[in-house]
Structure 1
Amino acid sequence: MTHAETTQRPGGRSARVREAVHQAVLDVVIDEGVDKVGIPEISRRAGVRNSSIYRRWGTRENLLIDALLSASERELPVPDTGSLHGDLSTFASNLIAYLDTPLGDGLARTLASISDSEETRSAREAFWTGRLQAVLPMITRAIERGELPPDTDGRTLIELVIAPIHFRHLLTREHVDHAFASSLAATAIQAVRTAPSVSPPR
């Protein structure tokens, strides 16, 4: 066995374990719902010891968020339509469709319902930081095209688009569709374009 093989095998096994555990989580969410995800069941389905799962993820909540974040990154690619409104409305439409799936609904409910602790706060923060970093290129491209002011707060713009979608999905259960997504995108863009600049405190 070569040195390259010995150095690559642990990483390869680690990746396989993560993939198997993630798939087991997604299978349980799809088959039985997010509330049924438990580490003993995930261990059985993935063929991975309980102790290995606890050592890597620490808690059920951390495992759920990691698996569902990975799934959302695959299911919610960042669009590049050539315009900011096109990007935001497409992203919003894709989010609406994703939240109507067992995985998307499970993710939203997990993030909304997990109890506050140091570990869960860190997991929640890591999730939203990761999602924000993934979608910020839409804002960067728009600034480069001259569609937005250079000092645009990208996080605020993204939140203006996605917050009403999550609100309707989790709380009011109102109907949302592509027309709603397009309207949200237009309203959010107008809001950040017209927002007064705030001078830094002296």
Structure 2
Amino acid sequence: MGKSPAQIRGARLRKAVIDATLARIESVGIGNVRVADVAADAGVHETSIYRRWKTLPRLLLDALLFRMADEIPLPDTGSLRGDLERFMTDLIRFAEAPSGMAMIRGTVIGDADPVVDATRREFWVRRLSMSEEIIRRGIARGEVASTVDPRLTMLTLGGLVHLHVTQLGETLPPNLAREAVDLVLDGIAPR
């Protein structure tokens, strides 16, 4: 006999709710996600979601950070070029998939709800801060000039992909990862 929705606990509950939240973000956009819909899709009670996440914005943030960590992990290949090319390749692969494209578009487009906008901003700030570690490691290894701004570098690379997805709506060029990394590396290498 299967468990009732109220009996779903721990890791299973988290996975079911995160999966349902991500599916909702992809299908209706981040501004239209409602806890009641997520609970129904996940087969859990709304109270279980509120008990664990407290608020919808915290649930949205957790789901988005989980998805990005899973789909676009921060590489540590031992070289700046390797890390940047892997990061860009994973980001491009994610952005080319229909669910990734929907996710990126759903977390970029502005929303009238200030709480959702704050969640969106917090997600991008946290994700960007994590990715800056790639540049900080490059600085520590002497592959990057010590004066280079890690945030500007990662905004340049990631922003390029996001601009293609959200504004240009074009297929991403096949050599984009390598060409973008080459362009940036020329600008941030020690002189």
TM range (shorter): 0.7 to 0.9
Query: Structure 2 unaligned runs (5+)?
Result: 1-8
Query: Structure 1 unaligned runs (5+)?
Result: 1-12, 196-202
In structure 2, what is the equivalent of residue 89 of structure 1? 85
Note the C-alpha offset of 1:14. 5.4
Work out the CA distance in 2 between the residues paired with 1:81 and 1:194.
Answer: 20
Work out the CA distance in 2 between the residues paired with 1:88 and 1:171.
Answer: 23
Conserved 8 A contact 1:20-1:46 = yes
Work out the CA distance in 1 between the residues paired with 2:15 and 2:34.
Answer: 17
Work out the CA distance in 1 between the residues paired with 2:160 and 2:46.
Answer: 38
Query: CA offsets per residue over residues 64-123 of structure 1, 9 Å max, x none?
Result: 443132111111111223321221122111101101224322321221224154422331
Conserved 8 A contact 1:96-1:177 = no
2:187 is matched by which residue type in structure 1? A
In structure 2, what is the equivalent of residue 4 of structure 1? none
Note the C-alpha offset of 1:37. 4.8
Residues 119-158 of structure 1 mapped to structure 2, 5 A cutoff: 119-158=115-154
Work out the CA distance in 2 between the residues paired with 1:98 and 1:54.
Answer: 30
The answer to whether structure 1 residue 58 and structure 2 residue 67 are counterparts is no
Aligned-CA RMSD value: 2.9
Q: Which runs of 4+ in 1 moved over 6 A?
A: none
1:25–1:44 CA distance, 2 compared to 1 (3 A):
same
Conserved 8 A contact 1:65-1:107 = no
The answer to whether structure 1 residue 47 and structure 2 residue 43 are counterparts is yes
1:58 is matched by which residue type in structure 2? T
Conserved 8 A contact 2:64-2:123 = no
Note the C-alpha offset of 1:19. 2.5
In structure 1, what is the equivalent of residue 107 of structure 2? 111
In structure 2, what is the equivalent of residue 5 of structure 1? none
Q: How many residues align?
A: 181
Bigger mean CA offset, 87-96 vs 76-85? 76-85
1:24–1:117 CA distance, 2 compared to 1 (3 A):
closer
Query: Which of 179, 185, 189 matches 1:183?
Result: 179
The answer to whether structure 1 residue 26 and structure 2 residue 19 are counterparts is no
Work out the CA distance in 2 between the residues paired with 1:117 and 1:194.
Answer: 44
Query: Which of 163, 166, 172 matches 2:168?
Result: 172
2:75 is matched by which residue type in structure 1? P
The answer to whether structure 1 residue 76 and structure 2 residue 72 are counterparts is yes
Work out the CA distance in 2 between the residues paired with 1:102 and 1:182.
Answer: 23
User: Which has the greater radius of gyration?
Assistant: 1
Query: CA offsets per residue over residues 115-164 of structure 1, 9 Å max, x none?
Result: 15442233123212321232233112211221112232111000111111
Give the SS at the match of 1:113: coil
TM-score by length of 1: 0.74
Work out the CA distance in 2 between the residues paired with 1:152 and 1:116.
Answer: 35
Query: Which of 147, 152, 158 matches 1:162?
Result: 158
